[in-house]
Structure 1
Amino acid sequence: MTAATSARTILTGLHEIMASRMHAQGKLNQVVETIGESLDSEVCSIYLLRDGMLELFATRGLNQEAVHVTRLGVGEGLTGTIAQNIETLNLDEAATHPEFQYRPETGEERFHSFAGVPIVRRERAIGVLNVQHIEPRRYEDVEIEALQTVAMVLAELINHAGLVDEESAGIAAARTEQDVLEGLKLVKGLAIGEAVFHQPRVQIEQTVAEDTEAERQRVYLAFDKMREQIDAMTNQAEFGVGGEHDEVLETYKMFAYDEGWSRRINEAIDSGLTAEAAIERVQQRTRMRMRQISDPLLADRMHDLEDLANRLLRIVSGQLGTAAQKGLTKDTILVAKNLGPAELLEYDRRRLKGVVLEEGALTAHVVIVARAMGVPVVGRVRNLRGLVREGDQVLIDGDAGKVTLRPGQGVLDAFGTRFAQKREQQAAYAKLRDVEPFTRDGERIEVMMNAGLRDDVAMLSMTGADGIGLYRTEFQFLVSPALPQRERQTRLYRDVLEAAKGRKVIFRTVDIGGDKSLPYLVNATGREDENPAMGWRALRLALEREGLMKVQARALLEGAAGRELNVMFPMVSEPWEFHAAKEVFDQQLAWLKRQKHQIPTAINFGVMLEVPSLAETLDLLLPHVKFISIGTNDLTQFLFAADRGNPALAERYDWLSPSILRFLARVVQGCVGQPVQLGVCGEMGGRRLEALALIGLGFRRLSITPAAVGQIKELVRRIDTTEIAEAMRGWLASPPENLRTEMLTWCREREIEVE
């Protein structure tokens, strides 16, 4: 007899039993008899989770007096081990297993062989199905296969019959205690909410097939559709050439066309399962194998198969779409293996409080967008989806890279205190929204904000920022599957200027490449950059892809028609690059004039100073630009030769290092007496102590994250620029051992809060 035939015989009997009007206990009693007879097994027992314990609910062959008396903890004995590890045991001599425990009330001392499989629902063990024999023997593979299939159907039937308190069982299986998970700090901040899976799990409503051939056809059609999707992904230009994209897609194709995988699903259908249940049955087998794999490379491949199986399951069930399409109903912590930036933007920003990823990297596009949205993100959290379940309360501490699942009251209270302090601070800063930031000695400091999304512009009014000192135009490129058409770009720039209502907006031309590579743009060499931060990116890329630059230039000029246009070029290394970029704009402007199109009332060009070499040729550049903005993030990594995308180096170098501050001081001095506005755009300007240092160096324009605008405006009102400038000159002339500590002491003496 094959496993499929054996399982189908049992399933037919189970279906009839569970459809009967018999009471729950009577149903279970008949179930163990049916399974035992079909497998010619002297003992068949069912243990179900109740109040956190595995309770013997029904048995054929053991003492009936033990029913509802024998109870095992999860992890206790052979049965508890099966539930805890969600694994199958097949032993010819049960007593030799290290976890064996003898329970005299069961009368099981006569039985030597033992096999058990977990009864799993929603990836949680809600019980265990065991069989035993007097004679020592290992059960045949076909018998184990039949048991596993039966256990899967039994899980659904048990749930529908109300035999298990699912909430109690789920808690017992999923861990009720607080879990603190370590991850990679991707976007800082605090967040609290309920866990919601980006890809909701498909709920299988029917497990037993009424028409096997119809189910087989449904699977065939789903396989065809899935293979079409994978082929289309492989052929689309936006997935680029070479690199990790190709490797992932080739692995997907290998599994999608794997005859062994489709054969196993067909065999599960032969046993009497529906298409959905058959896919889930094979997936359960894969998960059990994954738990035994120590090789990380092989484990990754098995994860790929898991992802592909989820895709197939969603296709065959028709339950497509993400949690974003269903809509968020409460404060949410989004849980995902990985996310794309466009997927993140689909979520309701009022409800989305944080994101936790099993993967994720500092340089991922989704991280760049999340940072702009102000959504804390922690990544590289191992086995995340195996530890958290939908609805669990989750705390994110993006500052520490920690995720707390099911927090205890003490942790909640401490977190609540931190949130309350933050709200009080924000309320105080909000009062300064309409207050101009003057220092104590009357110096006006421009406090502008960085933006990159259309909705960010609304923060101008909410924060009271003077304008947008850095509008990252590349965000539109990051969330698009292909280069955005000129009309779309024009519409965006026009909308941003209209929403700004006359406040200054400085558009930075596309800064893509490096940590913002686009799969649909292959670099000049056709190969991956070995060091992307210093490679084919930003203005270098735009000048080489002249069409890209021309389209954006025309879009900016048309979008700003009738208004002032401020354009900033990123990563200028030498003056000739600025002139080449400006020439593209000049050519497009001349064309618009010839065509009698409306043009901007004024056009101001500037550069970002991120590459140290530009500081050595400032005298050549200053006569041609209206403003210079120092990008402290990239400048820092170039000065220290430290990749800011590397977690080991991310916080190694201090922004208050004399080497950085002396460099900035030289730039300030180089601009003295020149009709050029000098500013800073980057995270450095959004930190109170660092902002104080910048003002002391002579900077009068800071462009920062919207969340920091209020606190920097508040800081400005506490400062005497003459006093801090004098202190900075002294510190840079003769640097103390730790300038940060020295500055903190200086601030405390003057009651200036900077932490």
Structure 2
Amino acid sequence: MASRAGAQAKLNQIVDVIGDKLNSEVCSIYLLREGMLELFATRGLNQAAVHVTRMAVGEGLVGTIAANIETLNLAEAAAHPDFAFFPETGEERFHSFAGVPIVRRARAVGVLGVQHVEPRRYEEVEIEALQTVAMVLSELIANADLIDEEDVLGADAHLTGHERIQGLTLVKGLASGVAVFHQPRVTIEHVVAEDTEAERQRVYLAFDKMREQIDRMASQAEFGMGGEHEEVLETYRMFAYDEGWSRRINEAIDSGLTAEAAIERVQQRTRMRMRQIDDPLLADRMHDLEDLSNRLLRIVSGQLGTAASLGLKGDAILIARNLGPAELLEYDRRRLKGVILEEGSLTAHVVIVARAMGVPVVGHIRGLRAKVREGDQLLLDGDQGVVDVRPAPTLVEAFEARFARNRERQALYAAMRDVEPVSADGQRVRVMINAGLRDDMPMLNLTGADGIGLFRTEFQFLVSATLPARERQTRLYRDVLDAAGDRPVVFRTVDIGGDKVLPYLRHNDGETEENPAMGWRALRVALERDGLLKVQARALLEAAGGRTLNVMFPMVTEPWEFDAARAVFESQLAFLKQQKKLLPDAIRYGAMLEVPALAEYLDVLAPRLSFLSIGTNDLTQFLFAADRANPKLAERYDWLSPAILRFLRRVVLAVAPFGTDVTVCGEMGGRRLEALALLGIGITRLSITPAAVGPIKELVRKVELPAIQAAMAGWLANPPADLRAEIAAWATAHGIDYD
């Protein structure tokens, strides 16, 4: 770096040094020129290929590294799906390959790669060395004008015209505004440290400042005290004080890097590990660490110009690869209308916070920066998981009209708050809501719902870094009951496993399940790890002292499972009685029918049940052997299929002689046409999302139950080719609007 040699000569020396130190026959440097990755220097490949071999971003392994700004480490390069062979290089005899991006201003401007004859994965310490060298190279090539600046700054000049992007709904809602990039990345101008101790002190001071910010933010969170958001921020604070993280940054400084470069190198290592993590909850925790790294980098560099600190100038849709909860809380809530994430998941901390803020979120949209420019107009449809970029005026008008209709409809439904859902022939239908957070409780009063038909207790477990203590569980359940007043709350015992993985609760054998949705989950976990259920049972019993406790067990398959779970509660009840604790006035035990096998036992189980809840989401996928998360199968089954409606009617008839309450929980009951069908098979208790309460109340008041029940009986006895169309036609004929 310090020599007076030209840039090309320096690159030639660098590939020799790296190849020698890593015992690699090949070391090559590719740089971005005129939009193509050009081989600039190599040890081991044909020298005639230098400045001749060129590939597009995204082409071959080198192009993939540049496109994704990610590291590859392969024992057998040719086995990778993106492998491409360039015969002029003479690389056919090399098997192993490792490559890291050379990054400038958050864009890949080149790739540093090594190859070896024998198949082997490079050690982690070797990959870290390559990442460090790539950072140094970024500074060298920028100063030597080896890359075109327009390749770095003008890559989005071609972005014109309308584009529709499909993503995943994380928080429902509609929003419009201009694109604002969160811009957590900082431009690192200097990589090599002149004074190691001075760099170390800069990091120490930055850590102190960052921790002060996190503590202040946690104390100022505007969601009330004791909510799940407080637990989220507590986990976030735990990362901020993690000694292992600061130690790794110190080690990077010891290798000769500046404070900024050291933080970036540790961050790169975190990103590599994130890509290897299959556990969604652990991946979310790694995103929190990424958020903190960005925050620390901004503090240490003095480059505090995030969109939040600069302030939003108008209605904005925030764009980020991912966000930490603290970063979202920094934004002006009056102007932040929506969020788009390249990554994100339904259980991510930022999504929990966004839901409480009422901000719609769409996630799982890769390569956003390649499709959207800062300031582009965006229409975000959180209901459908769709984003329209640079929409035409006609599309904007249609979206605004839909927005206005939504507001009018919501005003109409809000007026239904104090109106009871009584059918046109005078029958009372129970409309309840599903909940899972303390902050969901105000929706009871806002919607005028009859109670909570499903309180998902696992959310408290999912946002906690460790198993929630009994006292904390008791406090949550008591707060929920207090907020509900005299309206019933049905607590579902913890439903974890499947896609809801807890890092602190693993299989004994540590193996990954091939089909987790049908595996070790829900009541199966609770009965095997009975300490978990005992703690939760005691917490629920104590919280419900002096009141009625409604408790429901998920994924019951056979009657003995229900009996075993109930026995856990009864044993804890006996213990509390000995301790002279205040006990519930009554306990109502229920089961959730999600596994079709349970329907064959209802004559045995129903006499022991106070109520039965049907979980239509899981039940449907089990009946059709169709994973509801698989987009290829999403349209393969229909809730208005005669198969499902016949099954549900059989369940209703099976428990009718025992007087057991039957409730449908899930999305099916919140859709107007599906709710009409459920009323038609004799189901008069629904537990749905709060947003659906108004629409379903309005529907109920227009329906004469005997009429729809007679029609359904005829259709199910002799199913038409398209039952959905028949029900829709009946609704239209009777003046009933449907979705």
- TM-score under structure 1 normalisation? 0.67
1:642 CA drift (Å): 1.1
The secondary structure found in structure 2 opposite 1:577 is helix
Q: For 2:53 and 2:478, locate their aligned partners in 1 and report how far apart those are by CA, in whole Å.
A: 76
User: Where do 1:106-505 residues align within 5 Å?
Assistant: 123=107, 146-149=140-143, 173=157, 175=159, 177-184=161-168, 189-195=173-179, 200-202=184-186, 207=189, 212-214=194-196, 217-218=199-200, 266=256, 275-276=259-260, 314-315=295-296, 317-318=298-299, 333-338=317-322, 353-360=337-344, 376-388=360-372, 392-505=376-489
Q: How far does the alpha carbon of each residue in 1:243-281 deviate from its partner, in whole angstroms, 9 at most, with x for none?
A: xxxxxxxxx99xx7999x989x95xx7xxxx65379889
Q: For 1:191 and 1:606, locate their aligned partners in 2 and report how far apart those are by CA, in whole Å.
A: 40
Residue matched to 1:623 = 607
The secondary structure found in structure 2 opposite 1:672 is helix
Are 1:754 and 2:735 an aligned pair? no
Are 1:535 and 2:519 an aligned pair? yes
Q: For 1:200 and 1:540, locate their aligned partners in 2 and report how far apart those are by CA, in whole Å.
A: 42
1:721 aligns with one of 675, 680, 705:
705
Does structure 2 retain, via aligned residues, the 8 Å contact 1:606–1:628?
Answer: yes
Residue matched to 2:220 = none
Does structure 2 retain, via aligned residues, the 8 Å contact 1:186–1:378?
Answer: yes
Q: For 1:404 and 1:462, locate their aligned partners in 2 and report how far apart those are by CA, in whole Å.
A: 31
Q: How far does the alpha carbon of each residue in 1:300-351 deviate from its partner, in whole angstroms, 9 at most, with x for none?
A: xxx9999999976654553699989979967654544356899989999887
Question: 1:601/1:310 Cα in 2 relative to 1: closer, same or farther (>3 Å)?
Answer: closer
Does structure 2 retain, via aligned residues, the 8 Å contact 1:568–1:607?
Answer: yes
Question: 1:278/1:180 Cα in 2 relative to 1: closer, same or farther (>3 Å)?
Answer: farther
The secondary structure found in structure 2 opposite 1:212 is coil
AA in 1 matched with 2:560:
W
Q: For 1:85 and 1:282, locate their aligned partners in 2 and report how far apart those are by CA, in whole Å.
A: 29
Residue matched to 1:160 = none
1:683 CA drift (Å): 0.3
1:518 CA drift (Å): 1.3
AA in 2 matched with 1:149:
N
Q: For 2:594 and 2:266, locate their aligned partners in 1 and report how far apart those are by CA, in whole Å.
A: 53
Q: How far does the alpha carbon of each residue in 1:348-399 deviate from its partner, in whole angstroms, 9 at most, with x for none?
A: 9887654433235689898799789876544332212444466654322345
1:665 CA drift (Å): 0.6
Q: For 1:519 and 1:377, locate their aligned partners in 2 and report how far apart those are by CA, in whole Å.
A: 25
User: Where do 1:453-602 residues align within 5 Å?
Assistant: 453-602=437-586
The secondary structure found in structure 1 opposite 2:658 is coil
Does structure 1 retain, via aligned residues, the 8 Å contact 2:249–2:263?
Answer: no
1:552 CA drift (Å): 0.3
1:643 CA drift (Å): 1.4
1:86 CA drift (Å): 9.6
Question: 1:609/1:197 Cα in 2 relative to 1: closer, same or farther (>3 Å)?
Answer: farther
Q: For 1:456 and 1:327, locate their aligned partners in 2 and report how far apart those are by CA, in whole Å.
A: 32
Q: For 1:697 and 1:180, locate their aligned partners in 2 and report how far apart those are by CA, in whole Å.
A: 40
Identity %: 59
- TM-score under structure 2 normalisation? 0.68
AA in 1 matched with 2:572:
Q
Question: 1:441/1:192 Cα in 2 relative to 1: closer, same or farther (>3 Å)?
Answer: same
1:748 CA drift (Å): 1.2
Residue matched to 2:641 = 657
Residue matched to 2:94 = none
1:173 CA drift (Å): 4.2
The secondary structure found in structure 1 opposite 2:546 is coil
Unaligned runs of 5+ in 2: 12-31, 42-47, 57-101, 110-135, 208-243, 277-282
1:575 CA drift (Å): 0.9
1:681 aligns with one of 665, 670, 689:
665
Q: How far does the alpha carbon of each residue in 1:426-446 deviate from its partner, in whole angstroms, 9 at most, with x for none?
A: 111111110001010001000
Q: For 2:683 and 2:659, locate their aligned partners in 1 and report how far apart those are by CA, in whole Å.
A: 14
Does structure 1 retain, via aligned residues, the 8 Å contact 2:378–2:389?
Answer: yes
Higher Cα Rg: structure 1 or 2?
1
Q: For 2:430 and 2:392, locate their aligned partners in 1 and report how far apart those are by CA, in whole Å.
A: 44
Does structure 1 retain, via aligned residues, the 8 Å contact 2:36–2:55?
Answer: no
Question: 1:464/1:731 Cα in 2 relative to 1: closer, same or farther (>3 Å)?
Answer: same
Q: For 1:498 and 1:322, locate their aligned partners in 2 and report how far apart those are by CA, in whole Å.
A: 44
The secondary structure found in structure 2 opposite 1:608 is strand
Residue matched to 1:735 = 719
Unaligned runs of 5+ in 1: 10-34, 40-80, 100-117, 126-141, 156-163, 226-251, 291-295, 298-302
Residue matched to 2:119 = none
AA in 1 matched with 2:573:
L
